[in-house]
A and B are shown apart, each in its own frame.
Chain A
Amino acid sequence: MPERTTDELLLKHAGEGEQAAFLELYERYRDPIFRFAYRLLGSVEVAEDVTHDCFLSLIRKPGNFRPELASLKTYLYAAARNLALKHFRDQGRETGLDEVSEEPKESSRRGPLRKVLDEELATQVREAILSLPPLQREAVILFEYEGLSLNEVAAVAGTDAGAIKARLYRAREGLRRMLRPYLEGNQELNSGREIVTLREA
C-alpha cells in the first residue's frame, strides 16, 4: 500500500476481507466520528455503539458509499448522524443529562480553583449543547467543533447551506443566551460567579 492510501482503495481492500485496511480506515476517522456522536448523544457508551455500527456499515453495505457524491468522511458523518437520530427515536428522548461523571478528567497542572471552574464551564457548555434541538445541535457540532464547511455540513445533514446557516444562527443565539455569564461581554458577572463558586467549593 502507498504511504497514504486513498479511502476508496482502503475500503475496497476492507470489503475483500483485509482487516489491516479496515483498521487503517478506522484509525483515520475514529476520533471525529466518535466526538461527533458523543457530542450529539451525550453518552460515551452510545457514541461507541454508533461508531461501531457506523464503521461496520462500510463492509456490510459498501455500495452505499458513492465517492462521486461525497468524501468518506462526510459519508461517515452522515451515517453516524442517521444512527444517532435512530437512537433518539428509539429512546423517545433527545438527550441524557445524567452522565456528568463520564466527563473527561483533564489532568492539567492548573490549580484546583481553575480546575473546578473549568469543569463547571464544561458542564454548562455540555448542557447548553445538549439542550439544543437535534438539527441545530448537529449543525453547531459539525461546524464549530469538527470544523466542517457549510457545504460539508449541508451534505451531512442532507439539506442546503442556507438551511444550515439558519440553524447555526439560531443555535448560536440559543448558546449565547444560555452561556451569557461565561462570554467576555459579561466579565464582571463571570468574576462574580467565580467568587461564588470559590466559596461553594
Chain B
Amino acid sequence: MGFQPEDEIGSDNELKRVLNRWVAPKPSGLLVERIKTSFEREFSGAGKEVVSMKFCSVCKEEFADKFSFCPVDGTPLTTVTAPVEEPSVTVNRDPSATINRDTVAESASAFHREPVETGPAWIPPSNTSSAIALRDEYHLTIMDDTGLLPRLFHEVGDEYNLTWPEFKRDPFGFTKRAFVGYGQAFRKFVAKPNVMLGMGAAVFAMLALVGVVMLMDRAQGANSSRAGLIVFALLAGGLLVALFSTMLGRERGAAVMGAEPSDSRTVVAGMVTSFAFLFAILGVIIWLDHKHKQQELLAQNNDELQVEQMIDIPNEQPTPDPGTAGLNKGSGGGSKPKQERPGGGGGGGREEAKPASFGKTPQASLEVPQIIPPDPKPPQIKNPALPVPATLNADPMLIPPDARVLPYGDPKSKSTDLSSGPGKGNGIGDGTGTGIGPGEGNGFGPGRGGNVGGGDFNAGGGGPGGGGGGDYSKIFTGKDVTTKARLISKPEPQYTEDARKNQIVGTVVLKCVFSSSGQVTGISVRSGLPYGLTERAIAAARNIKFEPATKDGHKVSMWMQLEYNFNLY
C-alpha cells in the first residue's frame, strides 16, 4: 500500500502544527436561540399546521388531503383522522423542519447508513389506527402531486449530478461497476419466484399476436372477411387477458412484479394496459397494411398498361417551328394549286388549371370529320377496344404529319405537365372548341372555324410555304431542315502510291450538297492534299449513301461538310 501504518499516520506533527493555524470560529449566540425555538416548536405544537392525511389501502401509503384517489394505483383514499396531540402524524410546515422528497431521495443515495436522513424500516400498518399510533414512526409521504415527467427529470438530474463526477474520474471502472451492478440486479429479479413464468407468458402473448397478424395477412390473400378476423383477434386477445388475469392474479401475479400478494390487482392492471398497448400497435399495423395494399392495387393497375416507349419531355423546349401558316406569316400556303393565304384556327381545352402541355398536333385533314384529340392526361382505360387516331381540321399541307412519339398537345407550349389547358370545348389550349391553340373551332392556332392561319376559315393554296407556296428545291442548311440527312454508308478513301511514298498526311475538307435525290453533288474543296489524295476524297464522297434531309415532310437538299483524314501508321 502506498500509505503509512496507523502509528505513522498519527505522527505528522509538522503538518498538524501548520494545519492548526486555521482556527475555527465559535458559533454565534443566535444558534442557541434557534435551537431553543425549534425545540419548543417541536413539542409545544405552536406554529404547527395539522394536515389530515388520506390512506391508500392498496399501496399502504398516505397522501395529502387534497387527493381523493391514490396517485399510484387509483384506489379511493380513506381519511385518516389523527389525534392532534400525536406529533408523528402531523406535518410541520416550518421550512427548517420539513422533510421533503429531496431529503428522502438524497438519503437513498448516500454513502452509508445515514442517521439523519434515514428512518428505521417502515412497518406496514395492519390498519389505519395502528399506523397512527406509532408515535416515533417517520412515514414516508409524498407531499406533492408533481407529475411523472418533472419527477423523472428531477431524479435523472440527481442521478447525473451524483454519477457524472465518478464517471469522469474513472469511466472504465464506472462502466464496469455499472454492468456488474445491473447484472446482479437482473439476476436477482429473475431469481424471484414466478418471474420466469411471467416473462414466458408475455413472450407467449407476443407470439400469439404475431401469429394472429400473420393469419390475417394470409386471409387477406384468400379474400376472407377481414372484419371477422379482427373480431376474432380481439376475442382471442380478450381471452388471453382473462386467462392471464386468472392465472397470474393473487399469489402468482403479485410475485411476477416482486411485490406483495395484495398487489395482484396492480399486476393485472399493468397486463391489461400492456395488451391495450399491443392492440393499438396491432391496429396501426393493420392500417398500414391496408394502405400498402391499396397502393399495390393502384400500382398493379398501372402495370397492366403496356409501356411502348418512354417519352422524355425536356423542360427546356426548343422554340416551335413557326411553320408555314397559323402565325399569319407569309402570304399564302395550302393545298390549293393557286396561291392563297390560308385562314382560320382553332382552340379548346378542358378547363384545367394548368396550361396546355407540349405535344404534337394530330393528323390534319380538311375532308375527314375531326376526331377530337384525346386528353393528354386521359383516364386510364385498359385495352381500348378501338384505338382511333385523332385528327385536326386543317390543311395537311400546312400541318404535315408528325412522326415523333409524343402525346398530343400544343406544339407551342412550354409546359411539360400533362394538361388540356384552361380552354373550353374538349380541345387543347386556352381557346374554345375541339382544336388546338388559342382560337375558336377545330383547327390550329389563332383564328376561327378550323384550319390554320388566323382569322376566319379559308383553305389556302400555293403549296406548303407561307411565303408564296414554299420552296423545297433550294439547298438548306442544317438548322433549317426538319430532319438532317442520315448517312447509310461512307466509303473510306484510299491512299495514293505517291502520297504514301511522300509521307503525305493531313485532312481534306470538302463542301458538298446532300441532294434531295440521294446523291452527293456540288462538291468543292475547302482544304486539299497533294498527290491525288483530294481526288480520292472526292471520289469517296460521291459514293456516300444517305437518306436525304426533310423539311415539312419533303425531301430537301442540304449543305454538308466532309472531312477525310489521311494518316500513315
Residues of chain A contacted by B102 (CB below 8 angstroms): 90
Inter-chain pairs besides A56-B39, A102-B25, 18 sampled, C-beta below 8 Å: A17-B43, A52-B38, A56-B35, A59-B39, A60-B42, A64-B120, A82-B115, A89-B106, A92-B161, A103-B25, A140-B19, A144-B16, A150-B6, A158-B111, A158-B112, A162-B1, A165-B5, A166-B3
B33-92: which have CB < 8 Å to A?
34-36, 38-40, 42-43
B116 close to A129 (CB less than 8 A): no
Tell me which of B12, B25, B116 contacts A57 (CB under 8 A): B116
A19 close to B15 (CB less than 8 A): no
B314-359: which have CB < 8 Å to A?
none
Q: Would you call B380 an interface residue if the criterion is a C-beta within 8 Å of the partner chain's C-beta atoms? A: no
Residues of chain A contacted by B5 (CB below 8 angstroms): 165
CB distance from A17 to the nearest CB of B (A): 4
Residues of chain B contacted by A19 (CB below 8 angstroms): 36, 39-40
Given that A122-B23, A144-B19 are known contacts, is A85 also in contact with B110, CB under 8 Å in the complex? yes
- The secondary-structure label for the interface of chain A is helix
A168 close to B9 (CB less than 8 A): yes
B18 close to A179 (CB less than 8 A): yes
A102 to B24, CA, bound (A): 10
B6 close to A48 (CB less than 8 A): no
B18 close to A182 (CB less than 8 A): yes
Residues of chain A contacted by B103 (CB below 8 angstroms): 86
Q: Would you call B569 an interface residue if the criterion is a C-beta within 8 Å of the partner chain's C-beta atoms? A: no
A37-58: which have CB < 8 Å to B?
38-39, 44, 47-48, 51-57
Q: Would you call A183 an interface residue if the criterion is a C-beta within 8 Å of the partner chain's C-beta atoms? A: yes
Among A64, A78, A85, A90, max chain B CB count under 10 A is at A64
Given that A150-B9, A169-B9, A172-B12 are known contacts, is A52 also in contact with B97, CB under 8 Å in the complex? no
Q: Would you call A157 an interface residue if the criterion is a C-beta within 8 Å of the partner chain's C-beta atoms? A: yes
Given that A52-B96, A150-B6 are known contacts, is A157 also in contact with B14, CB under 8 Å in the complex? no
A136-178: which have CB < 8 Å to B?
140, 143-145, 150, 157-159, 161-162, 165-166, 168-170, 172, 175-176
B115 close to A64 (CB less than 8 A): yes
Residue of A nearest to B120 (CB): A63
B99-136: which have CB < 8 Å to A?
99, 102-103, 106-107, 110-120, 136
Q: Would you call B22 an interface residue if the criterion is a C-beta within 8 Å of the partner chain's C-beta atoms? A: yes
A159 close to B112 (CB less than 8 A): yes
Residues of chain B contacted by A22 (CB below 8 angstroms): 35, 39
A17 to B85, CA, bound (A): 13
Closest 3 CB pairs of A and B: A158-B112, A169-B3, A125-B22
Scoring A residues 89 to 129 as 1 if CB is less than 8 Å from chain B, else 0, what string do you get? 11010000000001110100000000000100110011001
A172 to B15, CA, bound (A): 8
Given that A26-B35, A52-B31, A150-B6 are known contacts, is A126 also in contact with B115, CB under 8 Å in the complex? no
CB distance from B36 to the nearest CB of A (A): 7
A118 close to B116 (CB less than 8 A): no
CB distance from A122 to the nearest CB of B (A): 5
Given that A65-B115, A158-B111, A183-B14 are known contacts, is A166 also in contact with B1, CB under 8 Å in the complex? yes
Residues of chain B contacted by A34 (CB below 8 angstroms): 24, 26-27, 31
CB distance from B2 to the nearest CB of A (A): 7
26 contacts between A and B (CB under 8 A): A19-B40, A44-B27, A52-B38, A60-B42, A60-B97, A60-B138, A63-B136, A64-B118, A64-B119, A78-B113, A78-B114, A82-B110, A82-B114, A82-B117, A85-B110, A86-B103, A89-B161, A92-B161, A106-B23, A125-B19, A144-B15, A150-B9, A162-B1, A165-B3, A169-B3, A185-B14
- How many residues does chain B have at the interface if contact means C-beta atoms less than 8 Å apart? 57
CB distance from B266 to the nearest CB of A (A): 30
A51 close to B40 (CB less than 8 A): no
Residues of B within 8 A of A (CB): 1-6, 9-10, 12, 14-16, 18-28, 30-32, 34-36, 38-40, 42-43, 96-97, 99, 102-103, 106-107, 110-120, 136, 138, 158, 161-162
Residues of chain A contacted by B26 (CB below 8 angstroms): 31, 34, 104
Q: Would you call A192 an interface residue if the criterion is a C-beta within 8 Å of the partner chain's C-beta atoms? A: no
Given that A38-B25, A51-B27 are known contacts, is A23 also in contact with B116, CB under 8 Å in the complex? no
A104 close to B24 (CB less than 8 A): yes
Residues of chain B contacted by A82 (CB below 8 angstroms): 107, 110, 114-117
B112 close to A183 (CB less than 8 A): no
A62 close to B136 (CB less than 8 A): yes
Residue of A nearest to B1 (CB): A166
Residues of chain B contacted by A39 (CB below 8 angstroms): 22, 24
CB distance from B230 to the nearest CB of A (A): 54
Residues of chain B contacted by A44 (CB below 8 angstroms): 25, 27-28
B18 close to A125 (CB less than 8 A): yes
B4 close to A126 (CB less than 8 A): no
Residues of chain B contacted by A54 (CB below 8 angstroms): 116
Residue of A nearest to B41 (CB): A56
B32 close to A26 (CB less than 8 A): yes
A129 close to B42 (CB less than 8 A): no
CB distance from A188 to the nearest CB of B (A): 16
Residues of chain A contacted by B34 (CB below 8 angstroms): 48, 52
Residue of B nearest to A151 (CB): B6
